[in-house]
Structure 1
Amino acid sequence: MKMPELLAPAGSPESLRAAVQAGAGAVYLGWGEFNARRSAKNFSDEEFAQALEYCHLRGVRVFLTLNTLISDRELPRAAETARKACRLGVDSVLVQDWGLFDLLRRMLPDLPLHASTQMSLFTSGGCREMAADGCERVVLARECSREDTEAIVKNCPAEVEIFAHGALCMCYSGQCAMSAVLGGRSGNRGRCAQPCRLPYGINEPAGKRYPLSLKDSCLAAEIPDMAAMGVDCLKLEGRMKRPEYVAVVTDVYARLLEENRGPTREELARLEQAFSRSGFTDWYWQGRHGAGMFGTRPENAPEPKELFAQARALYEKDAARTVDVHFAVTCTAGAPCTLTAADPDGHTVTVTGPVPEAARTRSLTAEELETRLGKTGGTGYRCAGVEATVDEGLSLPASAVNALRREALAALTAARIAPPVRRELPVPPLDTTDCAAAAPEFTVSVTTAAQLSPELLAMKPARIYVPLELLGAFSALPEYHGEWCAILPRVWRDQDEPQLRRALEHAKALGVTGALAGNIGHLPLLRGLDLHVYGDFGLNVFNSRALEYLKKKGLESACVSFELRLAQIRDLHKILPAEAIVYGRLPLMITENCLIENSGHGCRCDRPNFLNDRTGASFPLLPVFGHRTEVQNSLPVWLADRPDYRRLGLAYARLRFTTETPAECVDILRRYQEGAAAPGSFTRGLYERGVE
């Protein structure tokens, strides 16, 4: 049985050495400005090249994280970063952005790409979609259970990687806008300020409760099960953690994988000492949710000095991780001596030394050669055997033997660290299709059936988006002279797909002609239904090439990210008709846990609920498909009095109704049609200030 690869974090050169010496099979690191841990130390140009050599010498793979959303202006730099890394021999690149993914697939067709967890992959269909587009590996959402993971492993041709240990985000990765909207620091851009670690109140003032702060995950006990089901890689989280933490956690998991077993009590204690938040949780893997998953870490938590001192001793000596080398040396009369060095990976090199002289006093022996060739300390190699062929009566200076050994190991190192030959193709031209509109038509999304009032329908928005599960309650649609569209659930699982497919067929029978897809896994679910497919905000469209990619996937329009500034939206090449949310409470999080039920007052999702922060702001909590929770911003975006949003080339401008009454929906749409001022408090969102 093939064991999963162990992938460890390397937030700095020190952490990289710690991970390698502790037994990692691969490391992931940030180089340049485009990675999801931009606050980590990361690597300079020189350090990155050295990291590749250090790891490849020792048989460890290196994955580069380019897993952030990237603007049009940044795309050339991100692509050039990937090109340089490819030339240096990086083993794969992790990507979130659709535009960068498509660009790299076409520019660097031999460079392995991994779909970051930021792509929000949690179904077999979504993972197969990425595999079909050339992804070597998919990194699943942390919320996936054992059953979810097993189904994806069985049904996806790409490799499957899961997070086995470390911090859990409260929101599905790639779908969190809380840090961005509240503070301008985007988690999708590697600048998350971790607002989930702050105190909040559910339907009460914020106090000393932390309803968004999950414990760290620990799946160490599940290693035999994960190996048996065919998981390809276990990822350890922690690029922001110190090298000692990386050494401790990597060492424990490496031993467990080597012996295919669960942890001892002592090993669990070491993991908890290294870092935990009120202990660990494995509930997502078990398919469980609830308040028992949550925990905090005191700011003054003591450092485990003894444990970390042991960890430093492990990696600072730089001697724990070596490569076996077999030598074959030949010393015959009248011919230059030769030394061949071979490693377990199939690399073989041969070097030549001086011609041995006739011995004057003592003859050279095979035992003497074996002793001298075995002195590989400090090189990254361990002599695993010497085969010596020596004629009698010859002499060879010790300095010559040592020089042969050094030369052979240098040649073997060069072979081991040599970058693979990969194709490099020119940057493909961008699709010249221009779908920019002189002014956008209004679209409306609703949350409740009551919001679909006759007055609203009479105002003739171009499209009305209705949650798919809400359409299930309709036996007929109201009269309306526009396009009815179904909003597919942003989060679901494989086992939900038969139900969703039936709901889509029912919606189509009602007269629905379009579907709003906010996840790449929606596309296989929608195929064959003859519905118009439009991209939703969950796809995180951040650049023109993302629009081009989605056009090739069959989408007919796409909602752009609300983390873009108005000027950035204006400058997008409208390869597809583009839409933007111009009104409404922006969705900050979608959580696997039901926050209301976790609060201890039972599930009361059928009434208004709020998350309250320390400033007194209240964030409405809406129930969504699968008994999940969507956190809405405390204030709605308002742009009606900003006519510049109408000059961005948008084809559609969406009004997103969540908590509004039917009368408020009508009033707001009328104000947008008239370009009027807001009726109450509002925000401009990120359209003016943008994000880091």
Structure 2
Amino acid sequence: MLELLSPAGSMESVTAAVQNGANAVYLGYGDFNARRNAKNFTREEVAAAVSYCHTRGTKVHLTLNTLLTDRELPAAAQVAGEINEMGVDAVIVQDLGVARMLHQVAPQLALHASTQMTVHSLDGVKECARLGFTRAVLSRELSRDQIRYICQNSPIEIETFAHGALCMCYSGQCYLSSVIGGRSGNRGLCAQPCRLKYGWGNRANEYPLSLKDMSLADYLQELEEMGVCCLKIEGRMKRPEYVAIVTGIYARAIREGRSPTPEELEQLEAAFSRQGFTQGYYLDKKGSDMFGVRQESEPPRELYAQARTTYESGENRKELIRMYAMIRTGEPAQVAAQDLVGNVARVEGAVPEAAVNVPLTAEKVEGQLKRTGGTPYECEKVTAYVDEGLSLPLSALNALRRQALEELSRLRGLPPQREKGEFHPGVRYENPKGAPQITLSVRSAQQITPALLALQPARIYLPSDEGAACPDAIRACQEAGVEVAVLLPRVCWDREKNKLEQELKVFQELGVTQALAGTLDGVQRALDLGFTVTSDFGIGVYNSQTLKELKRLGVSAATASFELKLPQIRDLSKAIPLEAIVYGRLPLMITENCIIHNHTGQHSCTGVNQLTDRRGEKFPVVKAWGCRNEILNGKTLFLADKAADYQRLGLWAVRLMFTTEKPEQCVQVLERYRGQGRYKPADFTRGLYYRDVE
């Protein structure tokens, strides 16, 4: 049966989820999770939650799903040791360095790959398996056929979101909140700027980035049949009543093998929605119908009151047990309780006396022991052996029953005995000396001109579709003595893989051996095809352990996250060569939904499309591989006059990222970074390299 995983932002929400049928809950502890603004749990609360859940047959998953710095990893390792001892069942992780640390500190603790890892294909799932994950949470954008294909071929468990908020951007690839506001979604503090107004002219008068919540309540049996292991409900920031309502409806429908009733669907919408729900991604029907905003209204008081009774009025969640009794002459009365996983609690009481009037019978004993009301248990069977002619007060039997059930609860709440380890950062690599080389990435083959090649960049990253369509651009680079690397798309579904491989074949036939990949999916594909792989910014290199883990996977070089400050990049122990982006319009979002088509009704990606925010800032929207969109920053990152700062970071290369620039402008920029000319963008930013990101 499908596992139902419910959110818990507080102990009250834990109770709400468990009492309404959740098979597992997920919660945050401390500052290392993707909902740092939630009321995260203290150590004592986590221990209490684990005990409460395990007593009632519910698992606890803990979120450690943010990118962490080297300075934060020791504290995260302490958290990992604590939750390992408490008996947390699994940890949800985004950061490869955190995963590496967890393997050291808690080698027997299950690791689940967060949706923040942007796993959207079978190759990505296989890469997670290589990294030691036992489950992958798929990107929410995937359609049913893609989920089915992955499930049928996956070496590990697959979890999908079933209900709750949708992000406009692929999770783990969004930098909108951090770049424009200094609050990073990858660090657990997304300010949700996508929910604000934007427009296509000079006025922000629409909500083109605000998706409705998803609801797959009508497809539960199909999801189970296709092989999904776990369904996840989003909402750690939501009220306990919301958790109770949504969990209860989904749990009943799963248990009874049906879809929710019309009344239950109305309750889901009343609990929370943004102008209704969408199944657009799942049904492969993208478009403007998927968008909506939260409309302010009074909370549904009556519905919430009913929801509270499900978790405030005692035990609604019952675990099946069996009871045993042995009442024998001259021996202490014995009662035992056994659960379905093998825990046995035995207790003893007084020695029974000879009966004066009515002797005790097995039927009476069974009747008393079955009375488990008010406890988390339901007794399905009692086996009693009673010698004839004995007497034992019913109050004594009741006391033995209570003691046995209390002991059973204690046993069920005990943490498992697990192996413990210590976090060892390992060898520290000295920073390379000397100035970094300059690499370029382009969006269009037309940006590669003889004048640009004459400036001899160390490497040019050319998108796979551009190189396949314009092989002469590859040859021109090679003839000029400039190395070419193929830039893989960050998002490529399994049904698009053949197209990508045909593009990569063009590069290989021309002798290209280098590849740049921005997700684990792309890394796996490039390695399988024999490319020497550099990881791009989308992988999220935030600490030294991630670099070591990438090296273990066979990655030859990496790109630092542009959410790091320059001193943090300098201090990374560079197990593999590292480059950093020092120029360009930083990519803020990559979207499955084509917002250009949603607005115009046609695919007009070739022109300049600009999204305007409420402050008048304009963000270019460009076509991404596979009819997707990338939203770029309105200001251009510019550090040419800060060369002394980035040349001291121990980098092998710095990258100029060309997106909307004209060919002649590309030449001017490269000249400036070579120390020639006076080029400077009209409106530029230093990015996040000089300011703290929360």
Q: Please give the range of the TM-score, normalised by the shorter of the 2 chains.
A: over 0.9
Partner of 2:522: 522
Report the Cα offset of residue 434 of structure 1: 3.8
Partner of 1:663: 664
Partner of 1:219: 216
Letter in 2 for 1:544: S
Structure 1 CA distance for aligned equivalents of residues 193 and 111 of structure 2: 30
Counterpart pick for 1:165 among 153, 163, 166: 163
Partner of 1:687: 689
Q: Secondary structure at the match of 1:413?
A: helix
1:590 aligns with 2:586: no
Task: Give the 5 Å matches for 1:50-449.
Answer: 50-202=48-200, 204-298=201-295, 300-434=296-430, 436-449=432-445
Q: Secondary structure at the match of 2:52?
A: helix
1:45-69 superposed Cα distances (whole Å, 9 cap, x missing partner): 1111110011000000000000110
Structure 2 CA distance for aligned equivalents of residues 426 and 416 of structure 1: 27
Report the Cα offset of residue 414 of structure 1: 2.2
Letter in 2 for 1:446: V
Structure 1 CA distance for aligned equivalents of residues 655 and 437 of structure 2: 8
1:652 aligns with 2:653: yes
In the alignment, structure 1 segments of 5+ residues that lack a partner are: none
CA contact under 8 A between 2:669 and 2:679: conserved in structure 1?
no
Q: Taking structure 2 as the reference length, what is the TM-score of the superposition?
A: 0.97
Report the Cα offset of residue 672 of structure 1: 1.6
Letter in 2 for 1:19: A
Report the Cα offset of residue 200 of structure 1: 0.5
Q: Secondary structure at the match of 1:27?
A: strand
CA contact under 8 A between 2:668 and 2:679: conserved in structure 1?
no
Partner of 1:537: 537
Letter in 2 for 1:649: G
Structure 2 CA distance for aligned equivalents of residues 528 and 172 of structure 1: 24
1:459-498 superposed Cα distances (whole Å, 9 cap, x missing partner): 1111111111100122332132231111000101112212
Report the Cα offset of residue 677 of structure 1: 7.1
Structure 2 CA distance for aligned equivalents of residues 436 and 32 of structure 1: 36
Q: Secondary structure at the match of 2:564?
A: coil
Partner of 1:491: 491
Greater alpha carbon shift after TM alignment, 222-231 vs 204-213: 204-213
1:351-375 superposed Cα distances (whole Å, 9 cap, x missing partner): 2222112234443333443343334
1:59-98 superposed Cα distances (whole Å, 9 cap, x missing partner): 0000000011011001111122112111111110000001
Report the Cα offset of residue 523 of structure 1: 2.7
CA contact under 8 A between 2:523 and 2:535: conserved in structure 1?
no
Report the Cα offset of residue 108 of structure 1: 2.1
Structure 2 CA distance for aligned equivalents of residues 398 and 60 of structure 1: 33
Structure 2 CA distance for aligned equivalents of residues 497 and 246 of structure 1: 38
Q: Secondary structure at the match of 1:622?
A: strand
Structure 2 CA distance for aligned equivalents of residues 465 and 211 of structure 1: 31
CA contact under 8 A between 2:124 and 2:524: conserved in structure 1?
yes
1:439-475 superposed Cα distances (whole Å, 9 cap, x missing partner): 2111111111221111111111111111111001223
TM superposition outliers: structure 1 runs of 4+ over 4 Å? none
CA contact under 8 A between 1:484 and 1:511: conserved in structure 2?
no
Q: Secondary structure at the match of 1:527?
A: helix
Letter in 1 for 2:322: H
Structure 2 CA distance for aligned equivalents of residues 37 and 553 of structure 1: 29
Greater alpha carbon shift after TM alignment, 318-327 vs 215-224: 318-327
Q: Secondary structure at the match of 2:282?
A: helix
Structure 1 CA distance for aligned equivalents of residues 12 and 203 of structure 2: 39
Closer, same or farther: CA 469–397 of 1 in aligned 2, 3 Å: same
Structure 1 CA distance for aligned equivalents of residues 186 and 334 of structure 2: 56
CA contact under 8 A between 1:137 and 1:159: conserved in structure 2?
yes
Partner of 2:551: 551
CA contact under 8 A between 1:565 and 1:687: conserved in structure 2?
yes
CA contact under 8 A between 2:486 and 2:516: conserved in structure 1?
yes
Greater alpha carbon shift after TM alignment, 494-503 vs 463-472: 494-503
Structure 2 CA distance for aligned equivalents of residues 69 and 118 of structure 1: 10
Q: Secondary structure at the match of 1:303?
A: coil
In the alignment, structure 2 segments of 5+ residues that lack a partner are: none
Structure 1 CA distance for aligned equivalents of residues 537 and 681 of structure 2: 26
Structure 2 CA distance for aligned equivalents of residues 435 and 557 of structure 1: 14
Report the Cα offset of residue 429 of structure 1: 4.5
Letter in 2 for 1:7: L
Letter in 2 for 1:608: V
CA root-mean-square deviation: 1.5
Letter in 2 for 1:689: R
Q: Secondary structure at the match of 1:634?
A: coil
CA contact under 8 A between 2:636 and 2:681: conserved in structure 1?
no
Partner of 2:3: 5
Structure 2 CA distance for aligned equivalents of residues 657 and 318 of structure 1: 62
CA contact under 8 A between 2:527 and 2:533: conserved in structure 1?
no
Structure 2 CA distance for aligned equivalents of residues 623 and 553 of structure 1: 31
Q: Taking structure 1 as the reference length, what is the TM-score of the superposition?
A: 0.97
Report the Cα offset of residue 646 of structure 1: 1.2
Q: Secondary structure at the match of 1:62?
A: strand
CA contact under 8 A between 1:434 and 1:576: conserved in structure 2?
no
Structure 1 CA distance for aligned equivalents of residues 152 and 389 of structure 2: 65
Partner of 1:578: 578
1:28 aligns with 2:22: no
Matched residue count: 688
Structure 2 CA distance for aligned equivalents of residues 523 and 194 of structure 1: 29
Structure 2 CA distance for aligned equivalents of residues 429 and 68 of structure 1: 19
Letter in 2 for 1:381: Y
Report the Cα offset of residue 528 of structure 1: 4.8
Greater alpha carbon shift after TM alignment, 529-538 vs 191-200: 529-538
Report the Cα offset of residue 109 of structure 1: 2.0
Report the Cα offset of residue 417 of structure 1: 1.7
CA contact under 8 A between 1:330 and 1:339: conserved in structure 2?
yes
Q: Secondary structure at the match of 2:347?
A: strand
CA contact under 8 A between 1:436 and 1:578: conserved in structure 2?
no
Letter in 1 for 2:248: D
Identical positions, percent? 52
CA contact under 8 A between 2:425 and 2:545: conserved in structure 1?
no
Letter in 2 for 1:615: R
Report the Cα offset of residue 407 of structure 1: 2.1
Greater alpha carbon shift after TM alignment, 527-536 vs 681-690: 527-536
Structure 2 CA distance for aligned equivalents of residues 312 and 434 of structure 1: 58
